[in-house]
Amino acid sequence: MAMLAGAYLWIVAAHVIFVIFWMAGLFMLPRYLVYHQEALAAGRADEAALWVERETKLRSIILTPAMIAVWVLGLLLATVGQHWGAGWLHAKLVFVLLLSGYHGWAVGYAKRLAKGVMRLDGRTLRMLNEVPALVATAIVVLVFVKPF
């Protein structure tokens, strides 16, 4: 890992870039789910099929690859930067686990919608769309302020 110490800032940059991609996907997918569900509820099957295609592309091209890169680069940063003993990192990891769980939930809900199963109303989906912003805010504060 000492070899990577000189590349630390490059690893940070790559991590931040993939965080941006992941967050963009986490903001987009729930909004897609709202539109998809509205098309299903209105009986617009052709439109709903287009949303399935869009959601699949978003997941496979941006969302899941970005999440994997965030995890790999983040764990590498924690190791190279010797941050494992820092309390802020442990708290950050809890929030990143929450975002990962949210990611999994959104992907699962998209797959259920693709089968025509609607379990939430539009208002609930719209409220759930705010979860990534709240969690990302906490993560940014932990990383830059390092309150503990």
List binding-site positions for heme: 15, 92
Where is the binding site, in residues?
Answer: 15, 92
Q: Which of 29, 89, 12 is nearest to 64 (CA)?
A: 29
Angstrom distances, CA of residue 54 to CA of 19, 42, 104? 21, 19, 17
Residue 24 to residue 62: CA distance in whole angstroms: 9
* Residue of 74, 67, 53 lying closest to 25 (CA atoms): 67
